[in-house]
């Protein structure tokens, strides 16, 4: 994960090796490299610039007060700033409501169906909940089949209504089914398209309005970098979602999405997907992620 970024940051800190103290010149040189590393990782230009400005201010301000070597100090400051940028403390998922309703949004292929299964499995095993999965993709019969396969795999019930072309009606029927059958969490998987379009946005906005979920999650493929950030913005404008799920972090992802998404949409990343299997899900911890990035 983020190998390229980690390597480049490591090289940036080497600039300070052998220097006894922080100076404006060696800080500027180091941060130029840090900024380059962030841009190469597909972090947006403005965010990368603000990031290095903040670190610079702190580095020059703290110089006298610290006993750390310049290199160690810079690693610490970059780590703290990355943690801050990715979201501070880890946030949970809202499970109030009887049942708690969780709506999944995102583009086709982002990993919504897979993550719906992972989340159901996580809630079932870790939180002893009784989830229900609801298939609201009315365009792709294969998507409904896929959710049933996932449900069978993890032993979670799946509600679908194959002939029905109204996602709002399916979602509402799913919630009624959950109430009648003692399910205390309903996870609604929706249709995504390959790119943001008005029809998809209207459809998910209608489902959102009708069912008033406790938690609306936006699922995004971390491999898509800046596109991930732009898509997040488009969905957030319409849904004002509660959290982000970053998938495919097991791949050769550059890191831009993980680093910039929080500051662009001001919503926390809640979980990450780290593989295709149902147990490849982790709660997102910004400080752990920053540590991983810095190696």
With CB atoms as reference, the residue minimizing the distance to ligand GDP is 273
Neighbours of 43 (CB within 10 A): 27
Query: Least CB distance from residue 146 to ligand GDP, whole Å?
Result: 6
Which residues neighbour 1 within 8 Å (Cβ) at sequence distance 6 or greater?
Answer: 249, 250, 253, 255, 292
| Least distance CB 159 / ligand GDP (angstroms) | 16
> What is the smallest separation between the CB atom of 65 and ligand GDP, expressed in angstroms?
42
Is 87 annotated in a binding site? The answer is no
CB 65 within 8 A of CB 279: no
**247 assigned to a ligand binding site:** yes
Indicate the residue among 111 and 167 with the shorter CB distance to ligand GDP: 111
Q: How far is the CB of 281 from ligand GDP (least distance, A)?
A: 8
Is 189 annotated for ligand binding? yes
Q: What is the DSSP string of 57-108?
A: HHHHHHGGG--S-HHHHHHHHHHHHHHHHHTSS-------SSSEEEEEE--T
Residue 248 or 262: which CB sits closer to ligand GDP? 248
Say which residues have a Cβ less than 8 Å from residue 165's Cβ, sequence separation at least 6: 138
Helix and strand numbers (H, E) in the chain are: 11, 8
Closer to ligand GDP by CB, 57 or 276: give it.
276
Q: Is there a binding annotation on residue 108?
A: yes
Q: Which is nearer to ligand GDP, 12 or 119 (CB)?
A: 119
113 annotated to bind ligand: yes
Residues 165, 22: Cα–Cα separation, whole Å: 64
Residues forming contacts to ligand GDP in the complex (CB under 6 A) are 106, 108-114, 192, 247-248, 250-251, 273-276, 280
CB of 117 to ligand GDP, least distance (A): 8
Query: Is residue 282 marked as binding?
Result: no
Distance from the Cα of residue 134 to its chain's centroid: 22
Q: Binding site membership for GTP: which residues?
A: 106-113, 189-193, 247-250
Q: From the annotation, which residues make up the binding site? A: 106-113, 189-193, 247-250
């Amino acid at each position: 994960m983020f190998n390229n970024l980690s390597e480049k940051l490591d090289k940036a800190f080497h600039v300070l090796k052998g220097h006894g103290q922080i100076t404006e010149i060696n800080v500027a040189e180091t941060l130029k490299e840090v900024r380059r590393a962030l841009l190469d990782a597909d972090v947006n230009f403005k965010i990368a610039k603000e990031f290095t400005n903040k670190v610079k201010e702190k580095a020059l301000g703290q110089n006298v007060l610290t006993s750390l070597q310049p290199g160690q100090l810079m690693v610490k400051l970059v780590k703290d700033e990355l943690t801050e940028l990715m979201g501070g403390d880890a946030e949970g998922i809202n499970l109030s409501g009887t049942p708690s309703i969780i709506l999944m949004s995102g583009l086709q292929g982002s990993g919504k169906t897979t993550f719906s299964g992972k989340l159901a499995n996580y809630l079932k095993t870790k939180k002893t909940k009784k989830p229900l999965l609801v298939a609201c993709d009315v365009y792709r019969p294969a998507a409904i089949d896929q959710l049933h396969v996932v449900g069978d795999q993890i032993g979670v019930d799946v509600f679908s209504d194959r002939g029905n072309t109204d996602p709002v009606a399916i979602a509402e029927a799913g919630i009624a089914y959950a109430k009648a059958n003692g399910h205390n969490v309903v996870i609604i998987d929706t249709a995504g398209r390959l790119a943001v379009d008005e029809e998809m946005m209207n459809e998910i906005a209608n489902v959102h309005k009708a069912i008033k979920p406790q938690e609306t999650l936006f699922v995004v493929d971390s491999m898509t970098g800046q596109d991930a950030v732009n898509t997040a913005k488009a969905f957030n404008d319409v849904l004002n979602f509660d959290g982000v799920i970053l998938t495919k972090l097991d791949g050769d992802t550059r890191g831009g999405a993980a680093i910039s998404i929080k500051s662009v949409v001001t919503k926390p990343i809640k979980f990450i997907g780290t593989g295709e299997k149902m147990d490849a899900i982790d709660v997102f911890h910004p400080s752990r992620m920053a540590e991983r990035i810095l190696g």
